[in-house]
Amino acid sequence: MRAESMTCDERFTTAVRLGKPDRVPVVPTLQAEGAAGYTGLSMAAVAGDNQMVVKTMFEVFDDCGGWDNPYPCAATPLQLQVTGSHPMLVRIPGRDLADDEPFQLEEREILRLEDYDTICEIGFEKFFFDDYLWRITDITPDLLPTELAEAVSGLARFAAGCSQRGVTPYFLGAASHPFFTLSLTRSMTPFTQDLYYRPELVERALERMTADLIERQLPLIRSSGVDRWLFTEERASGFFYPPTVFERFWWPYTRRVVEACWSEGIVTIFHLDQCWDRNLKYFRDLPAGSAILEFDGLTDMRRARELLGGHLCIKGDVPATLLAIGTPEEVSAYCRSLIDDVGRDGGFILGTGCCVPPNVRPENFRAMIQTAKSHELA
């Protein structure tokens, strides 16, 4: 392994600022399921105990010799549900599923048409805790404070583990895009019908949710001590919708959020699943250096670099299939090619295509980390 001349933070910051670091930073999206698979634990073992989630993630981190700026991994499926990260019906291993199955999200039409007006009137967060949450979970209201407190303490344990290892979390604040939230809660087909047949209802809700998101998130991000946050979207791309829908219902609200954050020096991390090839050009309109775009293996990374290189940092995209059924040699070759083609001029972070899969082969994951540490930037 060659000597490094930058700290993890220096390396990461250089890449985000579109510079060329001593080597490419590597930030895999390792969540509880991938960590459990790597260490041989059952999915049930991490589904009911966020202390085990944090412990297992750092076992993987230490076994690999560490990496740059770990991705937060500190919550159970139930906690992801009750905090609104996964606002859907959740099936949990060891309870609803076999012990060795990862948790599942069940898509149903839970948000009703009349709920749009309620969201516009009182905001989505109040609506979520007053009404919506109780449509998707079987926990009782008296247990909610405990689960919310556990979610906070899990994140604190994760941050403490990072501090002990001399690294900074990739982010601590996070939220889903209002468009994505409505699609998940309404379910995709009814939401798409709303976009075409009731567009004013959707727009009013998006306006309220965007304003509330900015007002709520900025203080949380500032208080976290990490000047970046995660903004998740998985359903707005050209894979699903034509540009007219994207331009009307997604892009204006996105720009508003990013620009509000950037005005305070906060970088937005976009988690962009599915293929965004048809939408890449729009991101040129964001301020230079204001965002990281992380892709999941379906977007053309080389096309992204062609259009956005030198303007926004790009992250990705070692496929889950490669980590699960490939060989270390194949993983290493993929990473070297990606570093050479997308990261040769800087402004690039090597990452996984979405999450590390539950059936990851440990030797393949280690190959990804070690290749990032050893491969010379051209």
pLDDT(80) > 90? yes
Average pLDDT, the chain: 97
Answer whether residue 345 is part of any domain.
yes
pLDDT(2) > 90? no
* pLDDT number for residue 3: 75
Answer whether residue 294 is part of any domain.
yes
pLDDT digits (tens, 9 = 90+) for 252-283: 999 999 999 999 999 999 999 999 999 999 99
Q: What is the CATH number of the domain that holds 82?
A: 3.20.20.210
For tokens 């979390």, what's the residue? 169
pLDDT digits (tens, 9 = 90+) for 219-250: 999 999 999 999 999 999 999 999 999 999 99
Average pLDDT value for residue range 167-173: 97
Do the strands 104-106 and 89-91 form a parallel or antiparallel pair, or are they unpaired? antiparallel
DSSP string, 169-182: -S-SEEEE-HHHHH
Q: Read off the tokens for 186.
A: 């309404």
170 neighbors 70 (Cβ within 8 angstroms)? yes
Domains held by the chain: number: 1
- Across the chain, the runs of DSSP E, i.e. the strands, are 89-91, 104-106, 173-176, 228-233, 267-272, 291-295, 313-318, 348-352
Task: Quote the CA–CA distance of 178 and 366 in Å, as a whole number.
Answer: 36
β-pair partners for 93: 97
Tell how many helices (H) and how many strands (E) occur in the chain. 18, 8
pLDDT(183) > 80? yes
Burial 236-263 (b: 16+ CB within 10 A, else e): bbbbebeeebbeebbbebbeebbebbbe
β-pair partners for 318: 352
Band (pLDDT 50/70/90 cuts) for residue 378 is confident
Band (pLDDT 50/70/90 cuts) for residue 1 is low
pLDDT digits (tens, 9 = 90+) for 316-357: 999 999 999 999 999 999 999 999 999 999 999 999 999 999
Answer whether residue 172 is part of any domain.
yes
Helix ranges, 23-95 (H): 32-39, 43-47, 50-63, 77-82
Amino acid at 143: L
Average pLDDT value for residue range 46-51: 96
Answer whether residue 105 is part of any domain.
yes
Task: Quote the CA–CA distance of 78 and 333 in Å, as a whole number.
Answer: 38
Q: Read off the tokens for 242.
A: 């034509």
Nearest of 171, 176, 100, 87 to residue 137 by alpha carbon: 87
Answer whether residue 368 is part of any domain.
yes
* pLDDT number for residue 272: 98
The model carries a pTM of 0.97
* pLDDT number for residue 210: 98
Answer whether residue 2 is part of any domain.
no
Answer whether residue 265 is part of any domain.
yes
Task: Quote the CA–CA distance of 334 and 355 in Å, as a whole number.
Answer: 17
Q: Determine how many CB atoms are found less than 10 A away from the CB of residue 336.
A: 15
Task: Quote the CA–CA distance of 48 and 59 in Å, as a whole number.
Answer: 18
pLDDT(363) > 60? yes
Tell me which residue range forms the domain holding 343: 8-374
β-pair partners for 26: 350
Task: Quote the CA–CA distance of 42 and 36 in Å, as a whole number.
Answer: 6
In a 13 Å sphere around the CA of 366, the CA atoms on its Cβ side amount to 11
pLDDT digits (tens, 9 = 90+) for 122-144: 999 999 999 999 999 999 999 99
Answer whether residue 132 is part of any domain.
yes
355 neighbors 26 (Cβ within 8 angstroms)? no
* CA-CA-CA-CA torsion sign (344, 347, 350, 355): negative
* pLDDT number for residue 377: 82
